[in-house]
Structure 1
């Protein structure tokens, strides 16, 4: 510390040396001293500061005795340069924890020193340094500092310089550290705090730091919710309790169905998902309790609790459940009364001791609950004062009834009143008919409307004169606003009519004669075109409606010029359907519909706007052809066979693909032809002996070129080579037998051996005998005995024939 003060004195001395060196002007008055202070006080140093109104010298005399004598002066040597109005003198070598008395002296050098009044200061018992706040969060901060001697560690803090709080609690009373750390907790977020450190050494001397400040961080941490539990469940209520790690608001979201958390980011999203939410309690507490009321009995509820701290950080719990108790008590019904009884109506009223629904069962005979003729629709409103109006009653009739109410319990508790009765008034008055009018009058129809003062049925008599002659069917529905349609009327014709209404008691009223005139028909039908249906590759069904019966016809074609027209369907209908056939697959067609009504003498014709449909693309392959010839497995000597297969039909036409190969996999076809027009194919190049495979597929002529897939394959064998003959040599050779017997084998690769012949010395061919009795297989043994031969050498020739007529070259045996 003294080194630092030495630097300060050196700096002050340099400043003084750098001051003006010009001769000072003569002052007219002595300096006036003010603002004398002792600052920067440590254990052994202090700085004395003051001001003068003019440039003057600056010196201090000081000591331990008030009023002097003063034992020391500073600076040394004395300041003799009157060149400053702001003065600072460093006092060094002071005693620790000691009171010093001082006064300052200044002179302008033109007169004597001006001396201030006496002041005092006390050196510190020890020094506090490096005071700092660190590790600042939204609710805590760490205060650190150093002392020159071991001392206690305490911090005064608060939101202003009156502080109000200390840490630690209880205060530290052990003077055992020179490096001090105190953690302040429970702070408010985003708040500026004042603080100072306070220390005592072992001797009880106390030192305070200057006031300092820090600001806590904003609170970004949501409350931690724990101990969520439901309690006090009744049939209509439950209480939800929970705790939070910091003061926060209270709210509960609940529903009769579960809601998983999809990643909610706010309480607003959560509350929107649930069916009900308690009002938000804005009191900031750590122990929360919310009572939920108006619940359904015997019902499982799913709920989440929600809390928000003072910084707006939100938290919500996992979903919990509770089940309300069952409500087993039915409502109590009282004051059942029938009022406002007329000939067709009565009002039933009653009370219940709890909110419940409203329903009445009634009939013309006394009955037990559930056995009455009629039961009103249940009014599901939950009320305690009930009223239902029964209508459509028969005049002059006694009715028996019971009131029914069900509460909100699940399942609901039902209450049924005792049976009561009332009698409707008799009805002898006919309805009053009024407001007869005609509407929607067209060329062939009209609607007649009227009113009655009570529900009554509806009927109209009409004709070309007051004899009428035609009566509409009786509409037995009892109404007060009546409407009857007259149809099939003649165009531009005046009709007479009167309306008839009878009430439920059979009292009938007939109106005076009325007339109406139908309109002339000059309006063509109104066409409403519906989408084309049943669209296939070659057909489509065109549908439309008209507002009046009319004929049906369609113009169509690939452009708006159309070009084709369906036959006129003269049937007068309002729902029209025309099938167009012979269309081209995958083609867009334009069409418009035409309808003519039945107006005379000239029907009114209507034509629709242009519409379109597109036939479907042929995606169906034709069936695979059936192979006909050559037969599968045929062995034949024909080297240029003709191939034939069945014809195949497809709406778009077909062609055929043909393949011939030496293997069943057709890995390298000998013949590969496509686009054949006919169901046959002939070879022009001869085939060699061997087995061959052939197959055919059909391909339609649609844009998609749908192929049937290959039929077969079938195989056939070409055989133009006769059997091979081998003779068994004589043993011994030559033989002494003049009628020798020879044996051998005839073999063919693909056709059965059917004959073996021999001749001797070029004579006639003679049949040999099969060893097994018949020549009928691919390999046959044979034998023959020659005619009697003369001694000498002879030549025997043998040949064989297969079942295709192929002969072998002769085999000779000379002996």
Structure 2
């Protein structure tokens, strides 16, 4: 038994006490392995010399290629029995595994065989009305993946790429993509078709992306295309998307006549009364020169920022928090290090946040960032009237592209069976651990694990031994070749009909202004649900009652997620919009939020508009 270095902290003639003692135990001794075949199952038993968990690795290949696993992580005893379910008739090859406390693992050196019997012929069951989308008919003998043909790029814009392909059988539609052949992102649809089209959005202009198509059939076999390199268009390059979302150019007006009448008078007032102005003295003014208005606003002190902001990063997003001593709006200027231009008038690429909501505690969420990348940012907090507070330049770095479960949902087949599907951003294996609730307590000692050792970004496992009316915690687990692990939990799941809609919370709207010739504006509306659900936003100009028949909407995103992000590029600048968010779970239960309002950032104001707004905010006489 190997020992790590020990550190003595207390000793006498009779004893020595050590700290930081690390000891690695050998795996348990496995013996008496046996198997009994049953109808579409086999039961494997063995013993260990110490308490240990119990797993069976099995395959219809004698070398255990494409193997799966079933078992339990509970350290329940030394006599082990694992019932391997969901088999088809035929010979299976298997070996057993047991891990003791403190990590010692033993894998049986012998690969053995066992025969599962065929189920007796019976009439097909009636379709289930349980929540989750009905019955899935699975051909368990299908081992051939869909053949993908005609994979091609069919459309592009500055921030999106559209791919299409065909399959020789109905299959799902997914695209793996990234700036390298490692990809790192996955997007698509679980709907089965033979003709497929997926649009990848929120990309960087004038950038080359690597992509491949993936399609899985009803048996979980995954087909993959060859890699395809595709480049997004330059910013401003003509396309349907860019043309549709480009904001209108504000009209300009000649301020000469207004300036001539007002500038001298207001400058005289400012110098004479040094900020102690009477409403009677300015009531007859209708405008003033822009520079003079700036001097008036500058008489008010700028808000105070709370020091260095707090930053929470992931591989593709960041949340930035800060506080001010007075109510201000919440905006962050941002640019990746390669596009940060400190010597220019506007050194940042975009400005993100809310320009029209005034708070003391600020939170701005920024999405669609590149992993493992340095970003420069600046806090900008402007009050309703007066100078804006502007921070110095800060830097954060996004995390390495971690393994993530990006979409997941359960699909009920019958009262004993559920198929759980999920997507990861990198290739990884598939496992589900499930445990029942007994007396409102989770029975961890009754937990069982199903595992598929094949690596994929599309995952699908079926549990067919659930009890009607019993609630379970289902834990989805994927591990990549580097040992990174991603987990998601579906809590208190039951195969009985789901009649509870998702709970919607933390609705937030933020605008992004891209600092380029078009001054493009895009709005991100985000929210959370307590269970995986779809993503859709209804919206309309003005403050409205939220009648869905009168509102436009985004396309419903079919991915089932808990964190929802909707990107809208159709909003026009300087307008108030009403919106409602909608999420539907896999059982078809729909939640619709109350009406929220949001004002998009304005384009640069004309002098007259600026005059009227500042006078109204400062003196208030225009409202009377």
**TM-score > 0.5 by shorter chain:** no
Give TM-score, length-normalised by structure 2: 0.24
Give TM-score, length-normalised by structure 1: 0.19
Q: Whose helix proportion is higher, 1 or 2?
A: 2
Highest Rg: 1 or 2?
1
Higher relative contact order (CA 8 A, sep 6+): 2
